[in-house]
């Protein structure tokens, strides 16, 4: 059996399921679920034909094929007037035109079919969970922005700002990519965090394996329980996560272990109604170790000022951290 014959057979099965979808018994619905889960091609064909019932994208493709010279005779395509969509015969004929008449495989058509881009954003102090069309979940941190650009060939997320945890539905045929700045994180099925903070990108893997690439540099492979920080100057550092890191993230806790103060401030700013700033940028390299509640930024600032002997200045719209009188004479980055 040729590739085209196999694709057509899958299309015919999908058309049969769709034709009977309104009258399936519970047992048949379970059979449908098993058929969809048996192969990515099954789900792709089913989704493409369901999409044809809602718009004219496939019809446009057929019209283009008809206009091309030296095309094999095309079977008639009938519209189901009552539903405003395709009849079962029309769906199968449409698949035949695309697969045979145009010499284009179904997988290629599906790969080119992109879902509308979705913009997701959260306000300061607010988190939100979003379930995507493939059942993957984005848990968007406060003051964050991501664009979702799915196609038949890949699942691409652009983290424009902030931080998010991704719980990825497994699909080896459609890699899941998160782009943050010039870094790219690729996973198949896993749970991981990408944090775009103060010019750096940090990746934490809570489950599974991801690959992190940046420019022409060799990619990094991260496994469960590992983190990687790509600094603004493209230097990289990595280490191990605490066992309860994901639970801490879900509970709005920031676990800092020798974390530069500039990163702590950037993360607290996602929750603070008053912007936090450093009087001297050099203070941003001071290392902070502690456990801070992100949704209580005032308490966190008080703890940090005590740990690092810094002075807190409330200037209305901003809160500044600066060296105290005693430490100003000798303050230097650690």
Residue 69: predicted pLDDT = 52
Overall average pLDDT of the 31-50 stretch: 73
What's the number of domains the chain is made of? 3
Does 138 share its domain with 207? yes
Assess if residue 300 is contained within a domain. Answer: yes
Per DSSP bridges, beta strands 236-240 and 253-260 are unpaired
Assess if residue 199 is contained within a domain. Answer: yes
> Which residue stretches of the chain are H helix?
3-19, 26-38, 40-52, 57-67, 88-96, 106-112, 245-250, 261-268, 297-308, 325-328
pLDDT per residue as tens digits for the range 239-257? 999 989 999 999 999 999 9
Does 228 share its domain with 267? no
104 pLDDT higher than 60: no
What's the CA gap between 222 and 224, in Å, rounded? Answer: 7
What's the CA gap between 94 and 62, in Å, rounded? Answer: 7
* Backbone angles phi and psi of 228, in degrees to 5: -140, 135
Does 102 share its domain with 148? no
Contact (Cβ atoms closer than 8 angstroms) between residue 192 and residue 201 = no
User: Range of 273's domain?
Assistant: 252-328
Does 216 share its domain with 268? no
Residue 189: predicted pLDDT = 84
Does 226 share its domain with 128? yes
pTM above 0.85, yes or no: no
**At CB < 8 A and 24+ separation, what contacts does 232-240 make?**
232/198, 232/199, 232/200
What's the CA gap between 278 and 203, in Å, rounded? Answer: 25
Please report the sign of the dihedral spanned by the C-alpha atoms of residue 324, residue 327, residue 329, residue 330: negative
Assess if residue 333 is contained within a domain. Answer: no
């Amino acid at each position: 059996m040729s590739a085209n014959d196999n694709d057509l057979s899958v299309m015919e099965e999908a058309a049969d399921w769709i034709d009977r979808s309104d009258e399936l018994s519970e047992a048949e619905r379970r059979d449908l679920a098993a058929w969809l889960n048996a192969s990515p091609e099954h789900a792709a064909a089913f989704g493409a034909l369901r999409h044809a019932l809602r718009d004219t994208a496939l019809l446009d493709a057929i019209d283009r094929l008809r206009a091309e010279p030296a095309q094999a005779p095309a079977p008639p395509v009938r519209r189901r007037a009552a539903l405003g969509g395709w009849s079962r015969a029309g769906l199968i004929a449409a698949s035949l035109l695309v697969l045979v008449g145009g010499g284009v495989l179904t997988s290629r058509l599906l790969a080119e079919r992109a879902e509308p881009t979705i913009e997701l954003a959260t306000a300061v102090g607010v988190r939100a969970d979003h379930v995507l069309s493939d059942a993957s979940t984005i848990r968007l941190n406060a003051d964050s922005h991501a664009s979702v650009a799915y196609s038949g060939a890949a699942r691409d997320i652009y983290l424009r700002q902030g931080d998010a945890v991704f719980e990825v539905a497994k699909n080896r045929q459609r890699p899941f990519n998160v782009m943050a700045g010039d870094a790219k994180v690729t996973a198949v099925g896993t749970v991981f965090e990408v944090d775009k903070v103060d010019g750096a990108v940090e990746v934490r893997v809570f489950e599974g394996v991801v690959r992190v690439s940046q420019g022409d540099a060799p990619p990094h492979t991260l496994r469960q329980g590992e983190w990687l920080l790509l600094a603004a100057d493209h230097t990289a550092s990595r280490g191990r996560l605490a066992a309860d890191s994901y639970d801490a993230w879900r509970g709005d806790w920031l676990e800092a272990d020798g974390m530069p103060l500039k990163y702590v401030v950037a993360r607290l700013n996602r929750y603070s109604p008053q912007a936090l700033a450093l009087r001297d940028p050099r203070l941003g390299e001071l290392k902070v170790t502690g456990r801070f509640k992100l949704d209580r930024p005032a308490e966190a600032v008080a703890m940090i000022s005590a740990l690092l002997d810094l002075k807190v200045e409330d200037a209305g719209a901003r809160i500044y951290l600066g060296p105290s009188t005693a430490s100003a004479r000798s303050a230097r980055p650690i």
